[in-house]
Amino acid sequence: MDDATLADVGPWLRLAPAICMIWAAVGTVLASPAILWSLMPFAALGAVLPWHPFDAIYNYGLRHWLGTPRLPRYRAPRRFACAVATIWLGAAGLAFYLGSPVLGYVLGGSLTLAALVTATTDFCIPSFLWGLMFGKPLACGRNCLPGSGLITQLRINRERERVPRAGFPSWIGRARRSIFVFRLERSDVRLRRTSF
């Protein structure tokens, strides 16, 4: 996927996490295991399918009005995040069902907070953990951090293309970009200078 396409669909990749966040928040505030458990099938489908059911709102509706492309298929880190959310929802609902509201509020509140982070910053905590455990997906290549989202990849690509400020010699801009890339690659075994 090229940067222009990614820029068009980037905000819509956050639609499913935002809907899940609102649903989990309502279930947590109402201390309702039924509401939390009713979200579990959607999260489970997001874990086993290459797309989330809530992506259909964009793919079959909004994108036609907006004239933007379809959302990309989910890779393993995002499906792992949906699997974690499924278990998390079940545990929060079970806590409320068994009469342990404090544990239910802690689990439901932390799930809502994790979904809020994903919906607002494009940083997914379970996907990041996937990256730590199994490494970054092959689709990321050298352009994104382990477990990071597509928007982060776009931001990195834009940072690499950034033009130095007026008045600075061009070698300063190249050096600044090389330092940025070095910081991104410092966790790699091979540290090599990237030419621009």
Q: How far apart are CA 177 and CA 186, in angstroms?
A: 14
Residue 186 included in any domain:
no
Write down the pTM of the prediction.
0.68
Distances, alpha carbon 63 to alpha carbons 1, 35, 45, 67, 152, in Å? 17, 29, 22, 6, 22
Least confident stretch, 50-59, 86-95, 118-127, 179-188: 179-188
Is the pLDDT at 141 greater than 60, yes or no? no
Residue 152 included in any domain:
no
Q: Is the dihedral of CA 22, 26, 29, 32 positive or negative?
A: negative
Give the per-residue pLDDT at 156: 47
Residue 155 included in any domain:
no
Residue 174 included in any domain:
no
Which helix (H) or strand (E) covers residue 99, if one does?
A: none
Residue 40 included in any domain:
yes
In the 8-state DSSP scheme, what is residue 62? I
Is the pLDDT at 172 greater than 90, yes or no? no
Give the per-residue pLDDT at 111: 97
Domain span at 56: 3-135
174 vs 131: which has the higher pLDDT: 131
Residue 192 included in any domain:
no
Residue 166 included in any domain:
no
What lies within 8 Å, CB to CB, of 20 at 6+ separation is 39, 42, 43, 54, 85, 115
Q: How many domains does the chain have?
A: 1
Residue 23 included in any domain:
yes
**Mean pLDDT comparison of 77-86, 135-144, 147-156, 165-174, highest-scoring range:** 77-86
Cβ(180)–Cβ(159) below 8 Å? yes
Question: What is the pLDDT averaged over residues 83-112?
Answer: 97
